Amino acid sequence: MTARSAGFVARITTLSDQRARLHAGLPELHELYRDCVRAAAPPNPQFERERIIAQAPNPRELVFLFGLLNEGENEAALLLELVDAVYTADPQAPVAHIADEAWYYLRTSIDAHWQHDAGEPSLAAALAYLFSVLDDRWDALSSRTPSLPEPDETSVYARTMLLRALRDDLG
Amino acid sequence: MPAAFFGHGTPLNTIAANRYTQAWRAYGAALPRPRAVVVFSAHWYVVGTRITVARKPPTIHDFNARFPQELFDFTYPARGDAALVERIVELVSPVRVERDAASWGIDHGAYSVLAHLFPNADVPVVEVSLDRAQPPERHYELAARLAPLRAEGVFLMGSGNIVHNLELADRTFGSEPFVWAARFDELVRGLLAAGDHAALVSYHRLGPDARLAVPTPDHYLPLLAVIATQRANERADTIVDGFAFGSGSMLSISLAA
Q: What is the rounded CA–CA span in Å between residue B126 and residue B53?
A: 7
In this complex, do A108 and B167 lie within 8 Å of one another by their Cβ atoms?
yes
CB < 8 Å to B205, chain A? none
- Confidence at residue B132, expressed as pLDDT on a 0 to 100 scale: 96
In this complex, do A115 and B168 lie within 8 Å of one another by their Cβ atoms?
yes
Residue-wise pLDDT for B192-208, tens only, equals: 999 999 999 999 999 99
Q: What is the rounded CA–CA span in Å between residue B242 and residue B249?
A: 6
Average pLDDT value for residue range A77-98: 95
Average pLDDT value for residue range A122-143: 94
- Confidence at residue B150, expressed as pLDDT on a 0 to 100 scale: 98
Q: What are phi and psi of B210, to 5 degrees?
A: -65, -35
H or E stretch covering B86:
helix B82-92
pLDDT for residue A148 is more than 80: no
Q: What are phi and psi of A151, to 5 degrees?
A: -65, 150
Which one-letter amino acid corresponds to residue B214?
V
Residue-wise pLDDT for B12-66, tens only, equals: 999 999 999 999 999 999 999 999 999 999 999 999 999 999 999 999 999 988 9
Q: What is the rounded CA–CA span in Å between residue B156 and residue B256?
A: 12
Q: What is the rounded CA–CA span in Å between residue B7 and residue B112?
A: 10
- Confidence at residue A149, expressed as pLDDT on a 0 to 100 scale: 75
- Confidence at residue B173, expressed as pLDDT on a 0 to 100 scale: 84
Residue A147 forms beta bridges with which residues?
none
Q: Which of B133, B167, B211 sits opposite A116 (nearest CB)?
A: B211
Please answer whether residues B24 and B58 qualify as being in contact, where contact means their C-beta atoms are separated by less than 8 angstroms: no
Q: 3-state DSSP call for residue B253?
A: strand
Q: What is the rounded CA–CA span in Å between residue A42 and residue A151?
A: 13
- Confidence at residue A56, expressed as pLDDT on a 0 to 100 scale: 84
Task: Mention every residue, 6+ apart, whose C-beta is less than 8 A from residue B21.
Answer: B13, B116
In this complex, do B211 and A82 lie within 8 Å of one another by their Cβ atoms?
no
- Confidence at residue B94, expressed as pLDDT on a 0 to 100 scale: 95
Q: What is the rounded CA–CA span in Å between residue B137 and residue B142?
A: 9
pLDDT for residue A109 is more than 80: yes
Residue-wise pLDDT for B77-132, tens only, equals: 999 999 999 999 999 999 999 999 999 999 999 999 999 999 999 999 999 999 99
Task: Mention every residue, 6+ apart, whose C-beta is less than 8 A from residue A34.
Answer: A53, A59
- All structural domains of chain B: 3-256 (3.40.830.10)
- Confidence at residue A33, expressed as pLDDT on a 0 to 100 scale: 96
Least confident of A41-50, A154-163, B93-102, B246-255: A41-50
Residue-wise pLDDT for B158-180, tens only, equals: 999 999 999 999 888 888 999 99
What confidence tier does A44 reach under pLDDT thresholds 50, 70, 90? confident
Q: Which of B47, B208, B217 sits opposite A101 (nearest CB)?
A: B217
Report the share of chain A in percent with pLDDT over 90.
Answer: 70
CB < 8 Å to A105, chain B? 216
In this complex, do B216 and A86 lie within 8 Å of one another by their Cβ atoms?
no
- Confidence at residue A45, expressed as pLDDT on a 0 to 100 scale: 76
Omega cis (within 30) before A42: no
Residue B230 forms beta bridges with which residues?
none
- Confidence at residue B174, expressed as pLDDT on a 0 to 100 scale: 83
Least confident of A2-11, A48-57, B131-140: A48-57
Phi-psi label, residue A91: left if phi above 0, alpha if psi -120 to 50, beta otherwise: alpha
- Confidence at residue A42, expressed as pLDDT on a 0 to 100 scale: 82
Q: What is the rounded CA–CA span in Å between residue B78 and residue A78?
A: 33
Please answer whether residues A116 and B208 qualify as being in contact, where contact means their C-beta atoms are separated by less than 8 angstroms: yes
- Confidence at residue A66, expressed as pLDDT on a 0 to 100 scale: 92
Average pLDDT value for residue range A48-52: 82
Q: Which of B47, B135, B212 sits opposite A115 (nearest CB)?
A: B212
Please answer whether residues B35 and B58 qualify as being in contact, where contact means their C-beta atoms are separated by less than 8 angstroms: no
Q: What is the rounded CA–CA span in Å between residue A10 and residue B50?
A: 40
Q: State the Cα torsion B22-B24-B25-B28 to the nearest 10°.
A: 160
Average pLDDT value for residue range A154-159: 88
CB < 8 Å to A86, chain B? 133
In this complex, do B208 and A101 lie within 8 Å of one another by their Cβ atoms?
no
- Confidence at residue B139, expressed as pLDDT on a 0 to 100 scale: 98
pLDDT for residue A154 is more than 90: no
Give me the sign of the Cα torsion angle A63, A90, B218, B111. Answer: negative
Q: 3-state DSSP call for residue A90?
A: coil
In this complex, do B135 and A100 lie within 8 Å of one another by their Cβ atoms?
no
Please answer whether residues B53 and B143 qualify as being in contact, where contact means their C-beta atoms are separated by less than 8 angstroms: no
Q: Return mean pLDDT, chain A.
A: 91
- Range among A46-50, A53-57, A163-167 with highest mean pLDDT value: A163-167
- Confidence at residue B238, expressed as pLDDT on a 0 to 100 scale: 98
Query: What are the structural domain ranges in chain A?
Result: 3-170
Helices (H), A90-155: 96-110, 123-142
